[in-house]
Structure 1
């Protein structure tokens, strides 16, 4: 699996659809089997075993088995909305289609078999320059379907290191509908976990910020890059405590540094010595006043 590659037309990366985590894993495992040296047809049957999914995700076969049957049953009904031809030609068409035309769950074999839908074939094969590629292993350990989608969106712009995404567009692409209606919930339940998983499991690091139009957050800005190409961080110098900075500058609590040095007890810091002297001066003043 370490060498298996996922190829998708950019139009499919940006399509509007919702798949569960295990539906994503099934689809991606099958896409990774598409050969680049042979034309893909809608009659090609791809199989994925429970053990393959278990190995991919790093989980037990028993756990994978529990989820795969449900995922296979739902996968046939999953729709995808595509907003342009597979390789970006003009036309402005919007196409509603299905991922697959056939799904078989072979219970005794612990295996799923599927055929991609006819309309999906051009988005997975015969791709020109407008496609996105990444290693299947990059997303194998992710446990969030949103993390996988966000990772694909970043890979699409891998050479730029930054991607600005409209919040409304992202909601539509992920088919969130009425879920996470506030930007606060969107960030908490979708963006933050997805970014955390990308940072933990993938070859990319990612940071994100938000942009406002007026008082409303309208865009998210993702900055990202290859982990092995991050510049080495310079060792940070220990930060001085404010009191120590003040001591270096001249005085603490109004007591000159020279006085502190002269009257400090063995082992006392500038701050401790200055505080003691300050308190002693206050007490002496109070005693004199009384």
Structure 2
């Protein structure tokens, strides 16, 4: 499963739902089996074994086995609220549906099988645009469901390098249902844990700051990007004025996931775009 990829419609990434971390693992392990070059139907069963979960997460087989059945049973009752069409087409509408229509538990094999709900199929298959992709291994060792959700959102916004959202919107996406109404509790129980696990366990780094409306904290600004490769980065000579075209091409867009505007604002005198981006990335990791 190390190389398995997750594909989700952006509308599903931003949908409102609540799943435990074990329910997330079951769903993601099944989504990773969906072939993008083959049609997905609501009649197809996807199998996930306790051994697969144990291998994916690095946990004990006994622990995985004990949690698999109860998580699958809860998953059958879980709802999801969708607000957009799978590829951003069609009329905007709110749809309340369920993740799965069938859950089977094969006790002798230590395995569960599930069949996705009819309404979920378009959000997982035949995605041509407005979808999010990441590796299953990126979130395999996270034990916070909020961290997995936050990572998916960062992957969706990957090219932007930053995104501001209202706290109420994030509460709704995470389906907190009135939990942690005080901002200090929301930060401690949800945000700080999710950010810490994304930074420690995924290929991305993320920082956040807050904005107030009046005296109340109302919005969060996430700044994020890809962690540098473990391979050493070779020093590059500055480009000469005679190669302006190449220089513009190198400077356009985000570098290491950091937007050009941020690089320009924080670059030091004589620093190239790439050197400045790498320095900012390393500084962010040390905070």
**Structure 2 residue 137 is the aligned partner of structure 1 residue 133:** no
TM-score by structure 1 length? 0.79
Deviation at residue 124 of structure 1 after TM alignment: 0.2
SS in 1 for 2:6: strand
Deviation at residue 134 of structure 1 after TM alignment: 0.3
Q: Would the alpha carbon gap of residues 218 and 55 (structure 1) be closer, same or farther in structure 2, given more than 3 Å must change?
A: same
Question: Structure 1: how far apart are the matches of 2:169 and 2:88?
Answer: 18
SS in 2 for 1:3: coil
Q: Would the alpha carbon gap of residues 88 and 234 (structure 1) be closer, same or farther in structure 2, given more than 3 Å must change?
A: closer
Q: Name 1:54's counterpart in structure 2.
A: 54
**Structure 2 residue 44 is the aligned partner of structure 1 residue 44:** yes
Q: Name 1:258's counterpart in structure 2.
A: none
**Structure 2 residue 100 is the aligned partner of structure 1 residue 69:** no
SS in 1 for 2:77: coil
Question: Structure 2: how far apart are the matches of 1:22 and 1:105?
Answer: 15
Q: Name 1:167's counterpart in structure 2.
A: 167
- Return 5+ residue gaps in structure 1 as ranges: 237-290
Question: Structure 2: how far apart are the matches of 1:207 and 1:234?
Answer: 11
Question: Structure 1: how far apart are the matches of 2:198 and 2:279?
Answer: 20
Question: Structure 1: how far apart are the matches of 2:281 and 2:142?
Answer: 31
Q: How many residues align?
A: 236
Q: Name 2:158's counterpart in structure 1.
A: 158
Off by >2 Å, runs of 4+ in structure 1: 232-236
Question: Structure 1: how far apart are the matches of 2:185 and 2:52?
Answer: 34
Q: How does 1:86-235 map to 2 (within 5 A)?
A: 86-228=86-228, 229=256, 231-232=278-279
Q: Would the alpha carbon gap of residues 234 and 24 (structure 1) be closer, same or farther in structure 2, given more than 3 Å must change?
A: closer
Deviation at residue 90 of structure 1 after TM alignment: 4.1
- Return 5+ residue gaps in structure 2 as ranges: 229-255, 257-276
**Structure 2 residue 78 is the aligned partner of structure 1 residue 83:** no
Question: Structure 2: how far apart are the matches of 1:54 and 1:171?
Answer: 30
Question: Structure 2: how far apart are the matches of 1:208 and 1:62?
Answer: 37
Q: Name 1:256's counterpart in structure 2.
A: none
Question: Structure 2: how far apart are the matches of 1:80 and 1:226?
Answer: 29
Give the structure with higher Rg (CA): 1
Question: Structure 2: how far apart are the matches of 1:137 and 1:234?
Answer: 22
Give CA deviations for 1:183-218 in whole Å, capped at 9, x if unaligned. 111111100000000000000000001111111111
Give me the CA root mean square deviation: 1.5
Question: Structure 1: how far apart are the matches of 2:178 and 2:26?
Answer: 26
Question: Structure 2: how far apart are the matches of 1:234 and 1:82?
Answer: 35
TM-score by structure 2 length? 0.80
SS in 2 for 1:199: helix
